[in-house]
Chains A and B, each alone.
Chain A
Amino acid sequence: MKWLMVLGIVVVAILMTLYEWPKINKEQKREKKAFVVLTAGSVILAVVLVYFPAMPGPTQLVDAIFKPLGKLLEQ
Chain B
Amino acid sequence: MIEKGKISGLQMAILLYPTVVATALLILPATTGQFAKQDMWLSPIWASLFGYLAVMIAYRLHHYFPQETFVQYSEKIVGKFPGKLLGFGFLFFILHTNGMVLRDYGEFVTGNFLKQTPLIVMIMSMAFVCALAVRGGLEVIARSSQIFLPVFIVLFFLIILLLIPALNPKNMFPVMDEGITRSIRGAFVPSLWFSELFLISFLLPYLHEKEKGLKWAVVTTAFIMITLVTTNLFTLLLFGDIASSFTYPVMDAARYISIADFMQHVEAIVMAIWVTGMFIKICIFYYVVVIGTAQWLRLSDYRPIVFPIGFVLVSVSMWSASNLQELTHFTRTSWTFYAGLFLIVIPIVLLLIAKVRHKFPKKQSH
A contacts, CB < 8 Å to B: 12-13, 16, 19-20, 23-24, 28, 30-32, 34-35, 38-39, 41-43, 45-46, 49, 53-55, 57-59, 62-63, 65-67, 69-71, 73-75
Contact of B319 among A24, A32, A41, A57 (CB under 8 A): A57
With A and B bound together, what is the CA distance between A57 and B293 in angstroms? 20
Please report which residues of chain B, range 87-107, place their CB below 8 angstroms from some CB of chain A when the two chains form the complex. Answer: 92, 96, 99-100
Contact of B309 among A31, A38, A57 (CB under 8 A): A38
B316 proximal to A (CB < 8 A)? yes
18 contacts between A and B (CB under 8 A): A16-B307, A20-B304, A30-B297, A30-B300, A32-B304, A34-B297, A34-B299, A42-B312, A53-B318, A55-B319, A59-B326, A63-B330, A65-B338, A66-B334, A66-B337, A70-B337, A71-B333, A73-B333
Residues of A within 8 A of B300 (CB): 28, 30-31
Say if the beta carbon of B321 comes within 8 Å of chain A. Answer: yes
User: Are A31 and B311 CB-contacts (below 8 A) given A63-B334, A73-B336?
Assistant: no
What are the nearest 5 A-B pairs in CB distance?
A: A70-B333, A38-B308, A70-B334, A42-B311, A66-B334
B305 to chain A, nearest CB (A): 6
Q: Which residues of A contact B326 (CB under 8 A)?
A: 59
List A contacts of B210 (CB < 8 A).
none
The answer to whether A38 and B312 touch across the interface, beta carbons within 8 angstroms, is yes
Q: Are A39 and B334 in contact (CB-based, < 8 A)?
A: no
Once bound together, how far apart are the Cα atoms of A49 and B92, in whole Å? Answer: 18
CA distance A46 to B293 in the complex (A): 20
Q: Is the interface of B mostly helix, strand, loop or mixed?
A: helix
- Alpha-carbon separation in the docked complex, A38 to B297 (Å): 12
The interface size of chain B toward A, counting residues with CB under 8 Å, comes to 39
**Is the C-beta of B34 less than 8 angstroms from some C-beta in chain A?**
yes
On whether the beta carbons of A62 and B96 are closer than 8 Å, the reply is: yes
Contact A62 B334 (CB under 8 A): yes
Residues from chain A with a CB closer than 8 A to the CB of B314 are: 46
A27 — nearest CB in chain B belongs to which residue?
B300
Whether B304 and A34, one on each chain, are in contact in the complex, defined by CB atoms closer than 8 angstroms, is yes
CA distance A30 to B301 in the complex (A): 10
State how many angstroms separate the Cβ of A34 from the closest Cβ of chain B: 5
The answer to whether B312 touches A41 (Cβ under 8 A) is yes
Q: Taking A23-B304, A73-B333 as contacts, is the C-beta distance between A30 and B298 under 8 angstroms?
A: yes
A71 → B minimal CB distance (Å): 7
Interface string of B276-317 (1 = CB under 8 A from A): 000000000000000001000111110111011101101110
CB-CB nearest in chain A for B31 = A73
Closest residue on chain B to residue A39 by CB atoms = B308
Give the residue of A35, A46, A54, A67 whose beta carbon is less than 8 angstroms from that of B334.
A67
Complexed CA–CA distance, A69 and B341 (Å): 12
How many angstroms between the C-alpha atoms of A49 and B306 in the bound complex?
21
CB pair A23 B303 closer than 8 Å: yes
Closest to A36 in B: B308
Interface 0/1 of B184-195, CB less than 8 Å to A: 000011000000
Give Cα A32 to B303, complex, Å.
11
- What residue in chain A is nearest B338 (Cβ atoms)? A62
* Nearest A residue to B336, CB-CB: A73
